[in-house]
Amino acid sequence: EQSRTAELVLSPVVALQTAKVFVKVFTEIDRMPQLLAYYYKCHKVQLVAIWQELCQSELSVNRQLTELYDTLLSTWHSQLQWATQVFRNPHEIVTVLLIQTLGALVPSVPVCLSSALECAGQESRLSKLLELYDTTAHFAARGLEAAMLPNLSKDGHCTSLQAPLGFWFVCCFPAWKFLQKHVAPWHWGLVT
């Protein structure tokens, strides 16, 4: 019965008022952590499956990364929109969802990037590295901008940086850190 109730509250087609009632009931019986754990599990399984399909596809690593980033951005927006109407702390909930998802990806994004560089020939390693770097930088800028838009006031000031910075840090930082580590030696002429 409890899992059926959880499925109902997680379904985006369920009436908003019904979802709010379920969240209220789970909160009142001190079962909100279990409901959130189920919410994370359901969405994480779907996102990890998408990553698995991408990794097994014939797409280049750069294209796989682009598809993953697009999926994460889409998930961020759709889940934040839904969670804002249902939960008290939607930014935290959606950020935790993405953190758990990225932690569950096999292979991880940095492992994929490392493999792509190892497979590239010595002559093409720098261009491959820069291509992956550009993809991540483009997504970071586009993703951060898209995540900030709902937080802009009429005069163009950002009303809350919690959501966009959380989104950028969770989705881009692991790849960014890996790529920075490998681009810096090339940039400073430490590798020939």
Mean pLDDT for all residues in the chain: 78
How many domains are contained in the chain?
1
Q: Which residues pair with 152 in a beta bridge?
A: 158
Question: Token pair of 4, please?
Answer: 């059926």
Q: Could you list the residue range(s) of the whole structural domain that residue 95 is in?
A: 2-187
Q: Is residue 131 part of a domain?
A: yes
Q: Is residue 19 part of a domain?
A: yes
Q: Is residue 83 part of a domain?
A: yes
Of 173, 156, 35, 44, the closest CA to residue 96 belongs to: 44
Q: Is residue 174 part of a domain?
A: yes
- Comparing 18 with 65, the larger pLDDT belongs to 65
CA 152 to each of CA 127, 138, 145: distance values in angstroms, whole numbers, following the listed order: 37, 21, 10
Interval 104-119: pLDDT, tens: 999 988 888 888 888 8
Q: Is residue 192 part of a domain?
A: no
Instruction: Label residues 42-79 b or e (16+ Cβ within 10 Å = b).
Output: ebbeebbebbeebeeeeeebbebbbbbbebbbebbbeb
Of 127, 119, 100, 116, the closest CA to residue 42 belongs to: 100
Interval 137-153: pLDDT, tens: 777 777 666 665 665 55
pTM of structure: 0.74
Q: Is residue 29 part of a domain?
A: yes
Q: Is residue 181 part of a domain?
A: yes
The confidence band for 165, taking pLDDT boundaries of 50, 70 and 90, is: low
The Cα 171–Cα 7 span in angstroms is 26
